[in-house]
């Protein structure tokens, strides 16, 4: 199979906001307890944080982490998680039917963020609590001193404010499973008031309005339109959530689901622009894709009800999952002009790229690597590649390109990267990359993941599925020629010489 990509500087889609490589930690399963926080572990530091986890988070180069939920946040009282640990109450978490000990809370998470070289995307409870409760949390975390809540933080041992800049206004508030679920108009009103009061408390913050809980939600479309119609001028982003799975074993359709993702993103952009036009606003609403991943291996895992941090949603990812995650990352980058924030859900143990044993080891899941590659090499601006390649039909989709690709260009560091997935199950692709106006740029590395069975996985002491380095592609008269193995993830890096 032959394929061609044409690239030029003027094909710029937009600047890549580093926050597009964000992730997510929820008080769910072993994400916190036994994940990022395990005081009895041999790698734990003085704060109880697993340093082996922190090391891998740094490798992923995650700039922002959403916290503390998720469904959990809609019943969470933030006051339960601050102050002396011995005085904190244990609570029933109705979202996940477990017991929350509150040994880990806001200040512990902020300390962890600093050690992991990341920042916090804080979510507030707009399910069972009020706009004023959200405002109070902003005052507690961000106000310097001289008020009851700022001084309360100082009395807890944190003299300097945390200065959290990005805030989620609840979570999936259209979902019947959500504590305090609301209609679009009810949610729009409380989101407007919460965002307004939070920004009055700290005018440097940004806020994210909850969109529909998924593209398949019965509220999708009308929810975004009605809630944005109320809160448009007060908020900065609208959220999207989407997970994909391969329940029926149809690999070709599984890989093709980015066509559906593309349509989802385009639809939300259209709704945002409709409300902008309706309001005659000068403000363009950007997107926060703050939950996305492959998720289907672990939905029905049994656990002990009302226990503390039972294993939950612990997907063990296989090789085909990694190709889908890579394809989803490419799709997000293709819309970086409007998608400014995205969070791979989640970061550790719970549908996550990093997996730990409580009291034991750690390993990188298959999906770790596409995320690591894009986060570290996909900076600067995204370029729209003109792709010429064969197409095919699957059981669910028609006219599916065999090649999914995006290019990024970092002018400051004089580097380019082409990310591509060969979706053919059995055919090599000879790819020509035509560099129209990148004089002096030459290929320096070709990283790929290929040659694995679609069901191959990793485990403790068994990092089987991982990238390898290929022969550097040739370049002739501005055309780079690379060989893409069947069913493969590819990273082709170029530098100016």
Cite the active site residues: 172, 291
Q: How crowded is residue 199: how many other Cβ atoms within 10 Å of its Cβ?
A: 19
CB 351, CB 313: distance < 8 Å: yes
Under DSSP, is residue 244 helix (H, G, I), strand (E, B) or coil? strand
Strands 468-469, 441-449: pairing kind: antiparallel
* H-helix or E-strand spanning residue 92: strand 91-93
- Closest C-alpha among 352, 339, 327, 209 to residue 260: 327
Separation CA 393–CA 464 (nearest Å): 31
User: 488, 293, 466, 495: which is closest to 405 by C-alpha?
Assistant: 488
Question: Quick check: 338 and 17 in contact, CB under 8 A?
Answer: no
* Chain CA centroid to CA 298, Å: 19
- Residue 183: which residues within 8 A CB-CB, separation 6 or more? none
Hey, CA dihedral for 24, 27, 31, 33, is it positive or negative? positive
Most distant CA atoms of the chain, gap in Å: 70
| Two tokens, residue 146 | 């001289």
Q: Is 308 exposed, middle or buried (0-12, 13-18, 19+ CB in 10 A)?
A: middle
Report d(CA 58, CA 111) in Å as an integer: 15
Alpha helices in 19-65 (DSSP H): 51-60
Structure tokens at 218: 């019965």
Region of 237 on the Ramachandran plot (φ > 0 left; ψ -120 to 50 alpha; else beta): beta
Residues 99 and 308: beta-carbon distance below 8 Å: yes
- Within 10 angstroms of residue 185's Cβ, the number of other Cβ atoms is 12
Dihedral sign of CA atoms 324, 326, 331, 336 in order = positive
Q: Are 252 and 205 in contact (CB under 8 A)?
A: no
**C-alpha–C-alpha distance, residues 376 and 85, integer Å:** 37
């Amino acid at each position: 199979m032959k394929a061609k990509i044409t690239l030029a500087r003027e094909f710029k889609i937009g600047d890549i906001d580093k926050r597009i490589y964000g992730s997510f930690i929820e008080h769910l399963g072993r994400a916190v307890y036994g994940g990022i926080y395990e005081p009895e572990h041999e790698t734990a530091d003085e704060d109880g944080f697993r340093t082996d986890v922190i090391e891998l988070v740094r490798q992923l180069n995650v700039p922002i982490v959403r916290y503390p939920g998720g469904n959990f946040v809609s019943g969470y009282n933030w006051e339960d998680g601050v102050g002396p640990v011995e005085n904190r109450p244990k609570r029933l978490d109705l979202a996940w039917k477990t017991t929350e000990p509150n040994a880990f809370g806001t200040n512990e998470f902020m300390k962890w963020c600093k050690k992991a070289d990341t920042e916090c995307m804080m979510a507030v409870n707009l399910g069972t609590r009020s706009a004023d409760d959200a405002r109070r949390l902003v005052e507690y975390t961000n106000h310097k001193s001289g008020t009851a809540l700022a001084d309360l933080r100082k009395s807890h041992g944190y003299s300097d404010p945390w200065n959290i800049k990005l805030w989620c206004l609840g979570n999936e508030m259209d979902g019947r499973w959500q504590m305090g679920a609301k209609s679009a108009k009810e949610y729009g009103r409380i989101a407007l008031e919460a965002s307004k009061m939070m920004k009055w408390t700290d005018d440097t913050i940004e806020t994210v309005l909850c969109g529909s809980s998924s593209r398949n939600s019965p509220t999708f479309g009308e929810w975004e339109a009605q809630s944005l119609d109320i809160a448009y001028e007060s908020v900065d982003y609208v959220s999207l959530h989407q997970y994909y799975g391969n329940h029926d074993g149809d690999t070709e359709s599984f890989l093709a689901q980015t066509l559906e993702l593309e349509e989802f993103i385009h639809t939300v952009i259209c709704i945002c622009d409709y409300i902008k036009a309706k309001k005659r606003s000068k403000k363009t609403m950007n997107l926060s894709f703050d939950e996305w991943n492959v998720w289907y291996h672990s939905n029905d895992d049994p656990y002990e009800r009302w226990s503390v941090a039972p294993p939950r949603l612990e997907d063990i990812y296989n090789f085909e999952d990694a190709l889908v995650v890579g394809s989803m990352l490419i799709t997000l980058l293709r819309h970086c002009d409007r998608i400014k924030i995205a969070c791979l859900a989640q970061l550790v143990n719970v549908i996550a790229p990093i997996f730990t044993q409580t009291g034991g080891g750690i390993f990188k899941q298959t999906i770790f690597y596409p995320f690591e590659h894009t986060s570290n090499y996909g900076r600067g601006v995204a370029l729209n590649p003109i792709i010429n390649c064969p197409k095919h039909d699957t059981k669910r989709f028609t006219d599916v390109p065999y090649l999914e690709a995006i290019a990024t260009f970092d002018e400051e560091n004089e580097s380019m990267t082409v990310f591509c997935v060969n979706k053919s199950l059995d055919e090599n692709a000879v790819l020509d990359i035509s560099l129209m106006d990148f004089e002096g740029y030459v290929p320096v590395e070709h990283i790929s993941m290929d040659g694995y069975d679609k069901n191959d996985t990793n485990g403790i002491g068994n990092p089987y599925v991982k990238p390898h380095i290929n022969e550097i592609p040739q370049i002739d008269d501005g055309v780079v020629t690379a060989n893409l193995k069947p069913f493969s993830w590819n990273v082709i890096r170029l530098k100016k010489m």
